[in-house]
Homo-oligomer: A and B are copies of this chain.
Amino acid sequence: MTLKLHNFFRSSTSTRLRAALNLKGLDYDYVPYALRDGQTRTPEYLRRNPQGLVPTLEREDGSHLTQSLAIIEWLEETHPEPALLPKDADGRARVRALAHMVALEIHPLNNLRVLFYLRDEFAADEAAQKQWFTHWVTLTFDALEATLADSPETGTYCHGDTPTLADLCLYAQVWNNKRFDIALDKWPTIARIFAALDSLPAFNDAAPPNQPDAA
């Protein structure tokens, strides 16, 4: 038995978790779900994850963990090395705040079920969906760029020279942005960090196009 990752190649919360598992050196079976086909709305899947969301991490004992950031915190507590959070409380607060800027202020607004709602209830066409998506990315990336560029704590990555929880969220979000062709020109620090992350096998192996269910 090994870990099973119930996920979807393009899901940004799945990308975060795949990279975390890779960084921790944990092997897992990849179980893909086609979100557009409702494969996470079946009774069987809802028993694993009552929200019908990906990712869900199924453990060796058959129990399930949900919510990507909660799972990553669990990984950090149960497999501490290599660390995804700094040792000091101030550094941990900074890393979590950077991660949450992306995970709470961008991603929840831009996932598939929200775009579907806009399409169905507000007749939002592709252009209106792109404007919505880009608006929330821009609001937070402007603030994130300023925060990263201004701080001596920013290094090769978001916090120093080893990847952290913040980088997991940033990396996955930049991949998500490609859905609407959002370039990084306005955000040079974010672009630099993304390129550094993308050169690491743990991240690149987690990228959407490199998954078995990629179109």
- Chain A residues near B (Cβ < 8 Å): 50-53, 65-67, 69-71, 73-74, 77-78, 89-90, 92-93, 96-97, 99-101, 103-105, 107-109, 114, 117-118, 121-122, 124, 128, 131-132, 135, 139-140, 143-144, 146-147
| A131 touching B135, Cβ below 8 Å | no
A97 contacts across to B, CB distance below 8 A = 65-67, 70-71
Question: What residue of chain B has the Cβ atom nearest to residue A105's Cβ?
Answer: B108
Given contact pairs A50-B147, A67-B97, A70-B96, enumerate 14 new A-B contacts (beta carbons under 8 Å): A50-B143, A51-B143, A53-B105, A66-B97, A70-B97, A70-B99, A73-B93, A74-B90, A74-B96, A78-B89, A104-B104, A104-B108, A108-B109, A118-B122
Query: Which single member of B50, B89, B100 contacts A67 (CB below 8 Å)?
Result: B100
Determine whether the beta carbon of A103 is less than 8 Å from that of B105.
no
- The answer to whether A96 touches B117, judged by C-beta atoms less than 8 angstroms apart, is no
Assess whether A70 is in contact with B93, with CB atoms less than 8 Å apart: yes
Judge whether A146 and B50 touch: CB under 8 Å: yes
Do the beta carbons of B114 and A93 come within 8 Å of each other? no
Residues on B with beta carbons closer than 8 Å to the beta carbon of A99: 70
Distance from A26 Cβ to chain B, minimum over Cβ atoms (Å):
15
Please name all residues of chain B whose beta carbon is closer than 8 Å to the beta carbon of A132 when the two chains form the complex. Answer: 117, 121
Residues from chain B with a CB closer than 8 A to the CB of A93 are 65, 70-71, 73-74
